[in-house]
Amino acid sequence: MRILGIDPGLAIVGFGFIDKTGNKLTPVQYGSIQTEAHTPEEERLLHVYEGMVQLIDRYKPDMVAIEKLFFARNVTTALPVAQARGVLILAAVQKGLPVYEYTPMMVKQAVVGYGKAEKKQVQEMVKLLLKLSAVPKPDDVADALAVAVCHAHSVSLNSKLNEVLRK
């Protein structure tokens, strides 16, 4: 099973493709889609959308896991990020992919085992779990891989629960 994890943003979209075979997680490709700050917002959104479509076509994930937005204060950045998140979800749905959403706390809980873990702890666990030589940069990339790992763990848990419920 191939999972695409996404950390949404307008300036930087982190993405990470991982393969899950049994309990083994293997990184396939990861990186970011970046847009220029002084470009009109509609052009930036188009760039994010087209970049995601190209990635989906190239790496052919079975499902997409995306981080839910959580903004306590800054509405100014929340709206453009929400729009970028919308075009990212649109790209996935147009390709017929199921989309799963996880809050930052859910991702931290799944990756580190503690929902209030520090960003650095999450990054180090991503590096360890995926056997990477270094923490992926920028941070958005490590966050996207963490979302993919979270979904991989959730899929395992859900299938085990369904087995128990069927008995």
| Binding residue ranges for Mg(2+) | 7, 67, 140
| Nearest in space to 30 (alpha carbons), one of 57, 62, 4 | 4
Helix (H, G, I), strand (E, B) or coil at 166: helix
Task: Provide the annotated binding site.
Answer: 7, 67, 140
Given the residues 43, 67, 101, 118, the one annotated as active site: 67
- Determine phi and psi for 8, rounding to 5 degrees: -75, 150
Can 57 be counted among the known catalytic residues?
Answer: no
d(CA 37, CA 160): 45
Looking at this protein, which amino acid is placed at residue 26?
T
Given the residues 7, 36, 143, 163, the one annotated as active site: 7
- Determine phi and psi for 82, rounding to 5 degrees: -65, -40
Can 140 be counted among the known catalytic residues?
Answer: yes
Strands 99-102 and 63-67: parallel
Q: How far is CA 35 from the centre of its chain?
A: 18
Given the residues 36, 50, 140, 143, the one annotated as active site: 140
71 Cβ contact list (under 8 Å, min separation 6)? 77, 78, 81
Q: How far is CA 43 from the centre of its chain?
A: 22
Which residues participate in catalysis according to the annotation? 7, 67, 140
